[in-house]
Amino acid sequence: MIKAAFFDTKPYDRIYFDELKKNFGVEIEYFESKLNPRTAIMSKGAKAVVAFVNDDVGKETVSVLESIGVRMIALRCAGYNNVDLAAADGVIPVVRVPAYSPNAVAEHTLALLLTLVRKTHKAYIRTRDFNFSLNGFVGFDLYGKTLGVVGTGKIGMAFIEICRGLGMKIIASDPNPTQKGIEYVSNEELFSRADVISLHCPLTSSTYHLINNYSLNLMKDKVYILNTSRGALIDTEALIDGIKSGKVGGAGLDVYEEESEFFYEDYSESILKDDVLSRLIMMPNVLVTSHQAFLTHEALRRIAEITLGNIRGYFDGGKLENAVSYKRK
């Protein structure tokens, strides 16, 4: 049996891992704590460490893991911006789950958009108080509107196909514009033409704060912005300014650039100390969900299968089919 230490786990994480772990010959020890330089020592005795999106897999963490004999880092997510790949290069291999359920994320993105546009979340609250007034609920048709998608990987394409079914016009930007039947444009043209902008690109040095004061100024008035990728794609202060000025008509956010301290935790009995997040949540045309776009039964099962397969494949024969490699300049 291969022993693996899982960090930042919740009950829903464990369902499919517990169901499938024997099939892959993996023994799992779960930790609710996030992985960081202080908690990394808890994985002593494990051959693999399994991390999630808000774990700190930086240089210090990698050093501690190496010192206690951990031989692989398996991310149970697609993104890896929280990993210091330079520190791990040649020390501990890093693998990920590149595509677990593009439809899960794409469908959640649509849910955010439709909820904002048709105000169904507010209607739910109002009718529970037996208030059946329609005042303030006027929305708009998505049919015929222009959708701008940044990133045409599997998730971006899944969202495009959904929105094509709604009769939306599609434009997209991507540094690798390989998808057929897509009108590719520059980011600047996309920002200026789109009625709805949806972000489906990874967080890199070139996409950090892709949505900022400059790009917001290029956009149409009352533009809708959706982000189910990574929080730091958006300069949150600039977004708030855009909402206050009326430039942004609505924002659907499943991610937030400072989410690691808050998302996946219950602060309902506490005073939220992040004033920026508090302001976002209080705005009537902003919908925030806590990084839940991936959260379907199908996606959780696929994540478990791929993660356990990554671990088994490496320790059986050194296979790293889903390795994340450090790119030297």
Residues identified as active-site: 230, 259, 291
Residue with tokens 């776009």: 293
Report which of 104, 114, 83, 67 is spatially closest to residue 7, judged by C-alpha positions: 83
Residues 6 or more apart in contact with residue 98 via CB below 8 angstroms: 78, 322
Q: Distance (Å, rounded) from C-alpha 224 to C-alpha 168?
A: 14
Is residue 258 within 8 A of residue 245, CB to CB? The reply is no
Task: State the amino acid at position 262 in one-letter form.
Answer: F
